[in-house]
């Protein structure tokens, strides 16, 4: 008997690169007690206003809050659909379904067995999102044989992937050995060559996602985070860069991306990264932190992405909650049916 999401033939599944055509993107509306809620809502209104001009969006909202949120966002239409569905948090990159495609144009939703980044945070709702959304939208679903958050893998769409040992081999993910991890990523995401970075950002509560460290901007060019000597992760980022450079060789070009010097109000360093950008059709959204590096990162990325308008989005409010733009948004492939709105 063939399990859900599996196929009797040797279908080759592939995780597309972020610049490839897609159906839209998935987000989840924030729900936090106290003053943090208003700051996050303002960020979401701005972010969604930018994104919905270039691609359709699906945004999870509490069922009893749909009308209010729709009012804040200027209403629903083909560019924006609010999905009445509860979630624990906003990090759809990690909890949402990872959509992969094959040469026949079929789409499969991968379930990464989200466990709240090693059971650090509540996840009883988030872990169900791939199952619920696959059934709601009519997609096949495949549970992976490992715990994989979307922010833990970066691909160029042509068989090359990047990850960190700090996440995928951490005991709190309960993952198999590296060989089995690589086999599973090749089978379902099309990752034929996987580069393992030794370090994540030390302040990252995910244990060190790669989407804060190194990102592809096209199949052969990558931006790689580097930091000033007094940054707590300067040595770790330097070692990461050396590992990537040695693994990829002259066929790939590494471009340094500055790391923000950003601390909390109490003086604690936070996991701020300009590498946590999101690529939408013709639009690149880059996290900003009120630091001098904001303009430097924007200029570098604009030079590398001439077909995109690079926009810096102030992410200080969401960084205090633990992440950035890329962490918040999950690309969706396939066909998104448009719900007819009441007259």
Q: Please write the tens of the pLDDT for every residue from 61-80.
A: 999 999 999 999 999 999 99
Q: What structural domains and CATH numbers belong to the chain?
A: 24-332 (3.75.10.10)
Task: Name the average pLDDT for the chain.
Answer: 94
Per the structure block, which two tokens stand in for 104?
């026949």
What mean pLDDT do residues 189-199 have? 98
CB burial of residue 135 (10 Å; 0-12, 13-18, 19+): exposed
Residue whose token pair is 């067995």? 113
DSSP secondary structure of 127-165 = GGHHHHHHHHHT-EEEE-SS---GGG-EE-SSSEEEEEH
Tell me the per-residue pLDDT of 25-71, one tens digit each, with 9 for 90 and over.
999 999 988 788 999 999 999 999 999 999 999 999 999 999 999 99
- The string over 157-189, giving b where at least 16 C-beta atoms fall within 10 Å of a residue's C-beta and e elsewhere, is beebbbbbebbbbbeebebbeeeebbebbbebb
Helix or strand holding residue 3 (H, E) = none
Q: What is each CA distance from 199 to 177, 182, 207, 210, 234, in whole angstroms? A: 18, 18, 9, 9, 11
pLDDT tens profile 145-177 = 999 999 999 999 999 999 999 999 999 999 999
User: CA angle, 43 as apex, 40 and 44 as ends, to 5°?
Assistant: 90
Degrees, nearest 5: CA angle 331-335-336? 75
pTM of the model: 0.94
| Token representation of residue 268 | 């604690």
Question: Rounded CA gap, 26 and 299, in Å?
Answer: 27
| Cα dihedral sign, 198-204-210-216 | negative
Residue 340 has pLDDT above 70, yes or no: no
Could you give the 3-state DSSP secondary structure of residue 219? coil
Q: Which of 210, 190, 189 is nearest to 201 (CA)?
A: 210
Find all residues with CB under 8 Å of 298, minimum gap 6, and list them. Answer: 286, 288, 310, 312
CA torsion, ordered 243, 191, 161, 125, to nearest 10 deg: -130
Q: Give the pLDDT of residue 338.
A: 52
Residues in the chain: 343
List pLDDT tens digits, range 89-131: 999 999 999 999 999 999 999 999 999 999 999 999 999 999 9
What is the DSSP pairing of strand 193-197 with strand 214-218?
unpaired
Residue 343's SS3 state is: coil
Alpha helices in 18-162 (DSSP H): 36-51, 66-72, 92-95, 116-119, 129-137
């Amino acid at each position: 008997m063939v399990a859900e999401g599996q196929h009797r033939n040797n279908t080759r599944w592939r995780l597309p690169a972020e610049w490839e055509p897609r159906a839209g993107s998935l987000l989840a509306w924030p729900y936090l007690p106290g003053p943090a809620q208003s700051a996050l809502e303002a960020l979401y209104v701005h972010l969604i206003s930018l994104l919905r001009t270039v691609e359709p969006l699906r945004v999870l909202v509490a069922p009893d809050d749909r009308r209010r949120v729709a009012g804040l966002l200027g209403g629903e239409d083909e560019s924006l659909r609010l999905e009445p569905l509860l979630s624990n948090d906003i990090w759809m990159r990690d909890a949402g379904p990872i959509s992969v495609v094959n040469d026949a144009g079929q789409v499969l939703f991968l379930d990464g067995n989200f466990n709240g980044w090693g059971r650090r945070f509540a996840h009883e709702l988030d872990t169900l999102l791939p199952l619920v959304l696959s059934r709601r939208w009519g997609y096949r679903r495949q549970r992976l044989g490992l715990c994989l958050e979307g922010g833990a893998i970066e691909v160029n769409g042509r068989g090359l992937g990047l990850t960190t040992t700090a996440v995928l081999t951490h005991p709190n993910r309960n993952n198999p050995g590296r060989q089995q991890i690589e086999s599973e990523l090749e089978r379902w995401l099309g990752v034929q060559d996987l580069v393992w970075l030794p370090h994540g950002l030390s302040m990252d509560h995910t244990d060190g996602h790669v989407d804060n460290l190194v990102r592809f901007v096209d199949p052969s060019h990558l931006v790689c985070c580097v930091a000033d000597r007094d940054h707590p992760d300067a040595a770790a980022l330097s070692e990461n860069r050396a590992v990537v450079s040695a693994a990829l060789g002259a066929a790939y070009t590494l471009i340094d991306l500055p790391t923000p010097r950003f601390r909390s109000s109490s003086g604690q360093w936070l996991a701020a990264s300009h590498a946590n950008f999101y690529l939408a059709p013709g639009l690149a959204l880059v996290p900003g932190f009120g630091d001098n590096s904001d303009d430097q990162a924007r200029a570098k990325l604009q030079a590398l992405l001439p077909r995109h308008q690079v926009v810096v989005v102030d992410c200080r409010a969401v960084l205090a909650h633990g992440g950035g733009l890329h962490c918040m948004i999950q690309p969706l492939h396939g066909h998104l049916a448009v719900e007819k709105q009441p007259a």
